[in-house]
A and B are shown apart, each in its own frame.
Chain A
Amino acid sequence: MTVSYLSPVGMLGGGFTPEYFETAVRERPLDFVAVDSGSTDGGANNLGEDKFFFSRDAVKRDLRLLLIETRRKDIPLLVGSCGGSGGNWNLNWMWEIVEEVAREEGLSFTAALIPAEPDREVLIGKLRDGRIRELDPAPEITEDTFRDTHRIVAMMGAEPFQKALEGGADVVLAGRASDAALMAAIPLMKGVDAGLAWHAAKIAECGGAAVTQMTKPEGMICTFDDDYFILEPVSPEQQCTPTSVASHALYETANPVEMQEPGGTMLLDGVRYEAHTDRSVKVSGSRFQPADAYTVKLEGAALQGYRSAVIGGVTDPVILRNFDEWFENAKAGADYTMRRALGDERADLCKTTFRIYGRNGVLGDRETRKFDNDHEIGIFMVTVAPTQELANSAMATISHTILHFPVPQWHGLVSNLAFPEAPHEIELGPSYSFVLNHVVELDDPLEFYDIEFKEV
């Protein structure tokens, strides 16, 4: 039994070399092509704002290559977590692009769309029944969380993909899905050992990222035999080594030995990574333990407010040699003028954060290392407020005060911030934050996922 698939790139729209991809699809005995389109790395704005971080042109370019080559070979194309966050808006956005490419290229096929936004009343019922459980760490939630959050998605497992394929789909577009489920669905249907299918999927979902040096994003080919799988980069210029593959198996996951999926847990304690050729790696020993209760993870994006920001550089040695004390005074002065300008009631609605790049701007209070830096620092300040207008107003007053805040050694009006751009105020728009880190028990893996078939 041999099953083989290609993951062309870590994120649809990221781009890959057409020649390498076409050669691989045409010459290799592939059973399917699958590509992930999702990430929570960019924060909750992608889900909350109904946007995708790659451009429509970039996504269309990748989809055109994928659709043409998979239709030419008559193998399924699976896309997971459409449009970055897998919300309904994102799924429909991608479906329109697929339709457009099909029309332009004269392609015909059966498509399946799998939305991943559960009904809010169903979720509230599940919460009441004690069937929604928090993962550590999780924020406090109430029934209102399910009513007020802009979008909530539930990360599907392999079963909805399998159901879509059984229904005759050539192209499957899924809302929010487990990255690994997308790649594991067909191997599991074809009888591949569950441990191997899930473990390979965990590594391959990032495309060709499990190589020694990913100078250009390209794809990965995964091939299963009875008790092992082999990963080989699509690009002849790139190579997998046991270290590069093993390190990628750990990527973005808290526990290297146990990794949860909707239907169970990958157990990777007895895994072996061996060189197969000088650029491919053989992996064996992975196991999978089915779960007692089938759960899917919820993600939700809630509006925090609207943002206005200013960045400025300080290089005056007098300020820098006594920066902390000066900046505390300047912030207090800024708070005073903002309150005078807006009134306490409106000022209380504004929350400003200050990051001092060059002085613990990344790790903040948690920085334990000491560096001498009296050369140059960057001050980045952001106000979040219930309206854009209020955020702009607060930031204008705060940044103006700090710009001209007195420096003890100088007598007269000073300008303390070097602005690199005009205008120096940056309107950052809405800010969303994740408000759920919970799993919900399903009666059936398909419970939340109604599949819509479309003929193109």
Chain B
Amino acid sequence: MTMATLGSLAKLIRSKNAGPWKLTVDVMLPDTETYDRVVSSGIIDQATISRLFGMDPDKVEIYNYAPAKAIKISFPRFRPNGHPEDTDLFGGQQFAPLVDLEVPPVHSIP
């Protein structure tokens, strides 16, 4: 059985600058059931984000935000936006590694 991906479960996955020094990724889930499923799978944790984004795990902030059925992931920018070494001025394409992340089915969660 193929596993569901985060991209197939979410209504929105996007990234954006949160000021010139931070990036933030929003994962919006369609309903409480799906939100609970993704959160309880534990798949979005500091280790995963560190692996997917090449980021020091201690610098990764993860917020499970039930009022919006959203998971928010924030981390420092490598450079402020617009710096000669920056590659993504608005930070709009930084979410990509999350889209195909596989989310285990509920019954396989120990």
Contact = CB atoms under 8 A, between A and B. Distances in A.
Nearest to B68: A246
Interface residues of B, number: 47
Interface stretch (A156-164, A221-229, A429-437): A429-437
Interface string A238-278: 00000100110111111111000000000011111100000
A304 interface: yes
Contacts of B81: 40-41, 43, 434
Interface stretch (B1-9, B16-24, B38-46): B16-24
Interface string A359-372: 00111111111000
Nearest to B24: A254
Interface residues of A, number: 53
Contact of A255 (B54, B63, B90): B63
B53 A246 contact: no
Nearest to A45: B82
A136 interface: yes
A256 B87 contact: no
Nearest to B75: A254
B84 A255 contact: no
A211 B39 CA distance: 26
Interface string A189-202: 00000000000000
A250 B26 contact: yes
Interface in B55-110: 55, 61, 63, 65, 67-70, 72, 74, 76-90, 93-94, 96-97, 100
A243 B26 contact: no
Contacts of A384: 84
Q: Give the dominant DSSP class at A's interface.
A: loop
B52 interface: yes
B87 A434 contact: no
A366 B85 CA distance: 14
A42 B97 CA distance: 24
B51 A251 contact: no
B56 to A, nearest CB: 11
Contacts of B30: 243
Contact of B70 (A247, A305, A362): A247
B102 to A, nearest CB: 13
B28 to A, nearest CB: 5
Interface string A274-314: 00000000000100000000000001000011010000000
Contacts of A368: 51-54, 97
Given A43-B89, A362-B88, A255 B61 contact: yes
Contacts of B86: 43
A307 B84 CA distance: 9
Contacts of A236: none
B67 A243 contact: no
A41 B90 contact: yes
A206 to B, nearest CB: 11
Nearest to A48: B82
B79 to A, nearest CB: 8
Given A256-B63, A269-B67, A433-B82, A362 B18 contact: no
Interface in A347-404: 351, 353, 355, 361-369, 382, 384
A418 interface: no
Contact of B68 (A45, A250, A361): A250
A366 B76 CA distance: 14
Contacts of A364: 87
A45 B19 CA distance: 15
A318 to B, nearest CB: 27
B21 A353 contact: no
A203 B51 CA distance: 32
Contact of A254 (B51, B61, B100): B61
A137 interface: yes
B16 A42 contact: no
A231 interface: no
20 contacts: A40-B81, A41-B90, A135-B21, A138-B21, A139-B80, A243-B28, A247-B28, A254-B74, A256-B68, A256-B72, A257-B63, A257-B65, A269-B67, A353-B85, A368-B54, A369-B96, A369-B97, A431-B82, A433-B80, A437-B21
The 5 closest A-B pairs by CB, nearest first: A43-B82, A246-B68, A366-B54, A254-B74, A434-B80
Interface of A: 40-45, 135-139, 243, 246-247, 249-257, 268-273, 285, 299, 304-305, 307, 351, 353, 355, 361-369, 382, 384, 431-434, 437
Given A243-B30, A249-B68, A363-B87, 5 more contacts: A43-B80, A139-B80, A250-B72, A252-B16, A353-B85
